[in-house]
Structure formats: C-alpha cells, structure tokens
Amino acid sequence: MTSHRPLIEPLSTTPTQPSRKGNTHERTNPGIVTTDAEVFKAEAGRRRMKAILRRQPARLRAVLY
C-alpha cells in the first residue's frame, strides 16, 4: 500500500489544465488552478459591491472607493 501515488502532488509536477470555460486567469498565472465556481463567486462579489456603490449617494461613494 506504500507505492500508491500521493493524493496531492507537488505544484511543480502537476500539469496546469488548459483553461476551462470561464477560467480566464488560468492563462495569466498558470499553476494557480481556480475552479469555475470560485471565479463565479469572485465575480458575484464584485457585482454586488458595484450594485451597493450604485445605490449610495456620491458623498458616500467617495469614501467607499
């Protein structure tokens, strides 16, 4: 049972997957593998922040930026 491959391979030997759909940053920094869900979550957070900023008066918007 000792000859089985390690579950988590070191980063150097792990090949970077070709960018999946929606995985745009995979091209800019290979080696950091992000799932589509993570990318989507980040984008959703950004959208939510923008929506909040849009609702604020300009006075508050300057503070939040």
pLDDT tens readout for residues 46-65: 888 888 777 776 666 566 55
Residue 30 lies in a domain: yes
Residue 46 lies in a domain: yes
Non-local (6+) Cβ contacts of 59 within 8 A are none
Residue 45 lies in a domain: yes
| Residue among 24, 54, 51 nearest 39 (CA) | 24
Q: Which amino acid is at 60?
A: L
Find the domain containing 39 and state its range.
Answer: 25-64
pLDDT digits (tens, 9 = 90+) for 20-43: 554 455 555 556 666 777 778 888
Q: What is the pTM of this model?
A: 0.30
CB 20 within 8 A of CB 36: yes
Residue 15 lies in a domain: no
Residue 53 lies in a domain: yes
| Residue among 30, 36, 25 nearest 15 (CA) | 30
Count of domains observed in the chain: 1
Residue 51 lies in a domain: yes
Residue 38 lies in a domain: yes
